[in-house]
């Protein structure tokens, strides 16, 4: 199977943007683990070991619960929560990148996840956590999205800008120990 057959409608630019988006999520997860370690007075490696099997959403919930438990000032909690809304918004896209094949979308120059399950119209697969209440379920058709190269690029840029802001903020307010390499680069700037 050639690379083109394997990726179907995906170009190298699609794959590069997919990788960029997934990598931003990895960086968010590490940052959240570092904030957890600071809040616990622990080292990052211990927190990473404890949370490595958690998905992004689970790590986000764990961090926010921990910040509430540690009684972080409300303005700091609210700021971290607001910064984490951006990746939370793109979490389904990241999951689709990691777990779905892709096909050409119905709009010109768009792609969309290609669902393995193709049930009859009266049966719809649910894509939420098992403990989600029934009223909050979203069905596959309700959340099907199409993406262009531009929209994927905007998602990657938004995730990157927001990550930099969150990283700077948690360092500024002491929710994370500033790393030596970050301190050195900020002195050079």
Which burial class, exposed, middle or buried, applies to 140 when counting CB atoms under 10 A from its CB (0-12, 13-18, 19+)? Answer: middle
In the chain, the percentage of residues whose pLDDT exceeds 70 is 74
- Helix, strand, or coil here: 128? coil
Q: Which helix (H) or strand (E) holds 92?
A: helix 74-99
More confident residue, 46 or 141: 46
More confident residue, 174 or 181: 174
Q: How far apart are alpha carbons 102 and 10 in whole angstroms?
A: 7
Extended strands (E) in the chain: 101-104, 111-114
- Per-domain residue ranges of the chain: 3-188
More confident residue, 64 or 7: 64
Q: How far apart are alpha carbons 38 and 84 in whole angstroms?
A: 18
């Amino acid at each position: 199977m050639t690379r083109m057959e394997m990726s179907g409608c995906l170009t190298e630019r699609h794959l590069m943007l997919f990788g960029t988006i997934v990598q931003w999520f990895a960086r968010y997860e590490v940052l959240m683990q570092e904030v957890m370690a600071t809040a616990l007075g622990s080292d990052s490696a211990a927190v990473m070991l404890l949370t490595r099997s958690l998905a992004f959403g689970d790590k986000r919930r764990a961090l926010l619960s921990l910040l509430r438990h540690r009684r972080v000032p409300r303005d700091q909690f609210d700021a971290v929560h607001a910064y984490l809304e951006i990746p939370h918004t793109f979490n389904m896209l990241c999951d689709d990148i990691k777990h779905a094949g892709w096909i050409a979308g119905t709009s010109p120059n768009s792609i969309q996840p290609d669902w393995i399950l193709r049930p009859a119209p009266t049966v719809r697969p649910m894509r939420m956590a098992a403990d989600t209440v029934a009223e909050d379920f979203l069905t596959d058709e309700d959340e099907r999205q199409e993406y262009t190269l531009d929209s994927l690029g905007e998602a990657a840029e938004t995730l990157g800008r927001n990550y930099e802001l969150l990283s700077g903020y948690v360092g500024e307010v002491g929710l994370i120990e500033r790393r030596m390499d970050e301190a050195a680069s900020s002195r050079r700037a």
